[in-house]
Amino acid sequence: MTKVLEQGRNRAKPDEAASFVEKFEQLEAEKLIEKMTSMARIKKIVDQQSELLDDAKGQGVPKKVIRTVVKARSYEAKSKAAMEELEDDDAADAVAIRKALGDFADLPLGAAAIERDDTTSAVVKAVNDSLSDQERESARQAPPIH
């Protein structure tokens, strides 16, 4: 175990300093064992996924399609979570922007356009300002457009 340094001294004796090094090396070894164990568990999961994709391919479902659908569902979940974090007024604005831009808003280029272009921001603001109270309420309740 690590030795406690005596009070009033500015430096550890060589054997005390060595005990820190030894303990640190021991912790490094433990960390490596944990990494290896974790990687072994991850490899098992990756192998199971590979087998599942092979089975799907055997049934006529392309591997790429499964991977793409899973990725899209992950993006949709993240998008929904981001929308839920917004306050009501901000959420209504976000829905109005997405409606104004259509599918373009979902693309990185569309998102960049909203952030950078004053004209686009003005158009989105105009659309938002033109909404009636009923349309605004509908926009608040509408799920994000994907």
What is the domain partition of the chain in residue ranges?
13-59, 62-146
Q: Is residue 40 predicted with pLDDT exceeding 70?
A: yes
SS3 of the chain: CCCCCCCCCCCCCHHHHHHHHHHHHHHHHHHHHHHHHHHHHHHHHHHHHHHHHHHHHHCCCCHHHHHHHHHHHHHHHHHHHHHHHCCHHHHHHHHHHHHHHHHHHHCHHHHHHHHHCHHHHHHHHHHHHHCCHHHHHHHHHCCCCC
Rounded mean pLDDT, 85-111:
74
Rounded mean pLDDT, 6-14:
71
Q: Pick the range with the lowest mean pLDDT from 12-16, 32-36, 45-49, 55-59.
A: 12-16
How far apart are the C-alpha atoms of 23 and 46, rounded to whole Å?
35
Per residue in 99-118, pLDDT (tens digit) is 776 666 656 766 676 666 66
When pLDDT is cut at 50, 70 and 90, the band that residue 92 belongs to is confident
**Can you tell me which residue has the tokens 């509908």?**
138
Share of the chain above pLDDT 90, in %: 32
When pLDDT is cut at 50, 70 and 90, the band that residue 97 belongs to is confident
How far apart are the C-alpha atoms of 102 and 80, rounded to whole Å?
17
- Residue that wins the pLDDT comparison between 141 and 36: 36
- The answer to whether the CB of 3 falls within 8 A of the CB of 16 is yes
